[in-house]
């Protein structure tokens, strides 16, 4: 299946991937499987940008599924299906 992945606020990942949005061939079924695929594909750049020291999505990262459903950082069992779009967004402070 194809999963669309976008990174907003992660210039270091754009430098590695060459773009801010990806279409990935995906053989898993859960959000956890997607994280594992991205870790294998983009190694330390992905881990250092998205994950905390425990290997869980960092608290500064929000995840949006199909532009309407928020995925909780600790909900690795969230099911994915062909054509889903997952957006990783870095939260910014300021005012």
Domains of the chain: 2-90 (3.10.20.30)
Band of pLDDT at residue 95, cut at 50, 70 and 90: low
- Strands of 21-95, DSSP E: 21-25, 61-65, 69-71, 85-90
According to the model, what pLDDT value does residue 6 have? Answer: 96
Band of pLDDT at residue 13, cut at 50, 70 and 90: confident
When pLDDT is averaged across residues 67-82 and rounded to a whole number, the result is 90
23-66 residue pLDDT tens: 999 999 999 999 999 999 988 888 888 998 888 899 999 999 99
69 CA to centre of own chain? 14
Where is pLDDT greater, at 75 or 5?
A: 5
8 CB contacts (<8 Å, ≥6 apart)? 20, 87, 88, 89, 90
């Amino acid at each position: 299946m194809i999963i669309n992945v976008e990174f907003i606020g992660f210039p270091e990942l754009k430098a590695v991937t060459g773009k801010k949005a990806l279409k990935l061939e995906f053989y898993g079924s859960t959000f956890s499987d997607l994280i594992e695929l991205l870790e294998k594909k983009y190694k330390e750049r992905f881990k250092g940008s998205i994950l905390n020291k425990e290997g869980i999505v960092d608290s500064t990262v929000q995840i949006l599924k199909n532009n309407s459903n928020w995925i909780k950082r600790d909900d690795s069992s969230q099911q994915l299906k062909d054509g889903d779009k997952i957006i990783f967004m870095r939260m910014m402070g300021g005012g």
